Amino acid sequence: MDMFCRQCEQTAKGNACTIGGVCGKKPDVAALQDLLVYSLKGISVYANLARGLGIKDKDTDIFVAEGLFTTVTNVNFSSQKIAELIYKAYETKEKIKNLFLREYKQKKGDNFKSKLPVVADFKPQSSLEALAEQAKSAGIIVGDVDKDIQSLREILLYGLKGMAAYANHAAILGKTDEGVDAFFHKGLSSLVNDGLNANDYLSLIMEFGKVNLRCLEMLDCAHTEYLGHPEPTKVMLGVRHGPAIIVSGHDLYDLKQLLEQTQGTGINIYTHSEMLPAHGYPELRKYKHLAGHFGGAWQNQQKEFDNIPAAILMTTNCIQEPRPTYKDRIFTTGLVAWPQVEHINAIDGKKDFSSVIRKAKELGGFKEDAIEKDIIVGFGHNTVLNLADKIIAAVKSKAVRHFFLVGGCDGAKPGRNYYTEFVQKVPNDCIILTLACGKFRFNRLDLGSIGPFPRLLDCGQCNDSYSAIKIAIALADAFKCGVNDLPLSLVLSWYEQKAVCILLTLLSLGIKNIRLGPTLPAFVSPNVLNVLVEKFNIKPITTAGCDLKEILST
């Protein structure tokens, strides 16, 4: 095998990418990403021990989250940048190692002598070729490991990668949490602990789910304190005449900086894919040149970005290989990167988007308006819970029969039309909550309303999953029942590691009967799947009609 990667839903043949990634990842990049994760485990071995002595290092905590986020699907495809992170990981490990050893000697009066996993001694070679050779012994599956233990380790690792994305977004806005930081090290170091059994890992995974809920809450606080609570807002789908910059990814702080720098320039700013919910935030909506939303979900970008007279800014994951027709006008920033694509770095936390602005002006922009329709976003937990009394009354009067949360990641693999068909078949006396880019399968449909409520309530990005969870818990409290007793069903689509960590959070809260698709993860072994089915009644999706009939008949 040239590589082995099975962390996303679109993995080759539903098993693993072994020649090249379906996402476009090359074997050398896959190898270096494996080596980076290996390096992060070494850091966390020492960071976890250090915390036991009361030693914490914020730079170490932030770097581990950044390193994990870098290896999430569709983030960083640059072997050079990943190699630089591997070298920084070694420096970070040596720093926390020395802090730990010094403190240990001071408190224990002796040198530390316990045997540690081999990752603790890892030192990277000085060339890309040598790093690739080292990576052969650092892959996700190395050695003779029990399949169920391997499966549980991967579930935890991919959950940690997803949480790293949320922690990184929050940290950029100045929010961190000791429990979240500590669990990164606890979780990563557990992955190289051969003394743990399946029950140990299951316990860690459930603990992780609750920690990730705290991380999601932290990110929600970061966004709402900085940008205000989302409010129901009409968003124009399409473009207007004039110069344009299209912003994709997830980073709202990047969008805010770009809006500030383009104010008064005559350039229209458009969101793309997961940036759509940005329009609901008061501190972003106040910029009148935040003109609308362009295109659909991330997997359509190569077609959508082709031959349009606009500059493109990718702020986080979701990048695909740029076509030659737009490679000179797409820019990356943050942790996302593609070889030979201009990258905008932060200097003291600020970014200068002047090169993106120059390109937008040079291209001239769209020659005429091309407007499709308006849709409504902005139904975060603050908005929905302010309507709680009306929602409860609607349920009690039977005006609303059932709620469906239909959301998650979108992707190009066949089978995702299920979610469009499902929403189309949902009866008119039911309300649909949605979030993440899975909504692009149906958010252009005219689903009408029930009294004062639109039947489709857009709760935001995948980053905003906390809103959906908070709404469910608040409704359960109001009805004096458990979440599983609510007239609420979860029908989720997954693609990458952020969806994994959200699923684990839902399971840690005891939420059952989740329907998941379009396929089940390749990294979940049959025995582990049986445990999840027995304990949580997770179900793979079948057909929209059959699943809907079963849900509404119970």
5 within a domain of the structure (yes/no)? no
Cβ-Cβ contacts under 8 Å for 434 (sequence gap 6 or more):
405, 406, 407, 442, 443, 456, 457, 458, 459
By the 8 A CB rule, do 476 and 453 touch? no
309 and 239 together in one domain: yes
Q: 479-511: per-residue pLDDT in tens?
A: 999 999 999 999 999 999 999 999 999 999 999
Secondary structure E strands in 330-394: 330-333, 343-344, 346-347, 350-351, 370-377
- Give the end of a domain, one of 225, 250, 273: 225
353 and 402 together in one domain: no
- Give the end of a domain, one of 225, 255, 286: 225
User: What is the pLDDT, as a whole number, of residue 413?
Assistant: 82
213 and 284 together in one domain: no
User: What is the pLDDT, as a whole number, of residue 412?
Assistant: 85
392 and 258 together in one domain: no
Integer Rg of the chain from CA: 23
- As for how many domains the chain has, the answer is 3
419 and 365 together in one domain: no
Residue 62 has pLDDT above 80, yes or no: yes
Question: Model-level pTM greater than 0.85?
Answer: yes
pLDDT band at 84 (very low <50, low <70, confident <90, very high): very high
Sequential DSSP letters for 413-473:
STTTHHHHHHHHHS-TTEEEEE-SGGGGGTTTS---EETTEESEEE---GGGHHHHHHHHH
The domain that contains 45 carries what CATH number?
1.20.1270.20
16 within a domain of the structure (yes/no)? yes
Residue 347 has pLDDT above 80, yes or no: yes
pLDDT band at 14 (very low <50, low <70, confident <90, very high): very high
135 and 253 together in one domain: no
366 and 488 together in one domain: no
User: What is the pLDDT, as a whole number, of residue 154?
Assistant: 98
Measure CA 235 to chain center: 23
- Give the end of a domain, one of 172, 207, 225: 225
207 and 250 together in one domain: no
User: What is the pLDDT, as a whole number, of residue 145?
Assistant: 87
Percent of the chain surpassing pLDDT 70 = 100
User: What is the pLDDT, as a whole number, of residue 137?
Assistant: 87
Q: 117-160: per-residue pLDDT in tens?
A: 999 999 999 999 999 889 988 988 877 889 999 999 999 999 99
d(CA 373, CA 366): 18
309 within a domain of the structure (yes/no)? yes
If you average pLDDT over residues 330-335, what whole number do you get?
Answer: 98
User: What is the pLDDT, as a whole number, of residue 105?
Assistant: 96
By the 8 A CB rule, do 306 and 289 touch? no
Mean pLDDT of the chain: 96
User: What is the pLDDT, as a whole number, of residue 446?
Assistant: 96
Residue 287 has pLDDT above 80, yes or no: yes
The domain that contains 264 carries what CATH number?
3.40.50.2030
2 within a domain of the structure (yes/no)? no
User: What is the pLDDT, as a whole number, of residue 410?
Assistant: 94
Amino acid type, 363: L
If you average pLDDT over residues 76-80, what whole number do you get?
Answer: 96
Backbone angles phi, psi at 537, to 5 degrees: 55, 40
Domain that holds residue 40: 12-225
Q: 106-118: per-residue pLDDT in tens?
A: 999 999 999 999 9
pLDDT band at 442 (very low <50, low <70, confident <90, very high): very high
Residue 206 has pLDDT above 90, yes or no: yes
448 and 544 together in one domain: yes
Residue 56 has pLDDT above 90, yes or no: yes
285 and 185 together in one domain: no
